[in-house]
Amino acid sequence: MSETEDDLRTTSDAVVSGTERLKALEEAKRGLEPEDPERLLIAAEIAELGSRLENATAAELELAQTAKDEADASPGSPERPIDA
């Protein structure tokens, strides 16, 4: 696996982990009363996590393009998914 593919896998893992955490936070927030101060803390964490996920998915797009360009430039190199 190339360095780019390695970076893409690491970024993808971070996105998966972040979305799982985001889902858990949203589910926890739903169960809280509107006046519960924890609700605001969770909402702030969700906003911060959302921002980090936005940055990670933008990086992932760039890495995916770089990986494609590298594969196109190396005909005959084995093609495989990053999960392989």
For residue range 23-79, list pLDDT tens digits in order.
Answer: 999 999 999 999 999 999 999 999 999 999 999 999 999 999 999 999 888 876 656
Give CA–CA dist 33/10, Å, rounded: 37
For residue range 16-29, list pLDDT tens digits in order.
Answer: 999 999 999 999 99
Give CA–CA dist 84/81, Å, rounded: 5
The ranges assigned to domains in the chain are 3-67
Q: Identity (one letter) of the amino acid at 5?
A: E
Give CA–CA dist 40/17, Å, rounded: 22
Contact 73, 60 (CB under 8 A): no
Contact 28, 7 (CB under 8 A): no
Output the pTM of the full model.
Answer: 0.82
Total residues found in the chain within this entry = 84
